[in-house]
Amino acid sequence: MLIKQKRINVFGFVQGVGYRFNAQKKAQQLGLTGWVKNKPDQSVVIVIQGQEEKIKKFINWSKKGPQNSQVNKVKVKDEPLQEIFNNFFIK
């Protein structure tokens, strides 16, 4: 099984609406690992690891986000694997 890593930047109304908690829940449902954190510019950054197909499902979810969020833009970038995460956590 080939593990991929991507960095996802999510812009819009994504802080204070449960985005990180729901991202963690979605990643765990899909069996993905990595982390999510709020950034000072009011965006959210996610580093996600796992199978390409599952990451695609997560990216599709990230474009909508949880109920109260309002996502304006999502940037996705491939990254080299530097460390393997055992779970998905909120930083």
- Sequence-distant (≥ 6) Cβ neighbours of residue 39 within 8 angstroms: 45
Active site residue 20: yes
- Which among 20, 22, 68, 86 is annotated as catalytic? 20
Identify any residues that bridge with 9 across adjacent strands, giving them in sequence order.
45, 75
Question: What's the one-letter identity of residue 21?
Answer: F
The answer to whether 86 is a known catalytic residue is: no
Candidate list 7, 9, 22, 38, residue with the active-site label: 38
Catalytic positions, written as ranges? 20, 38
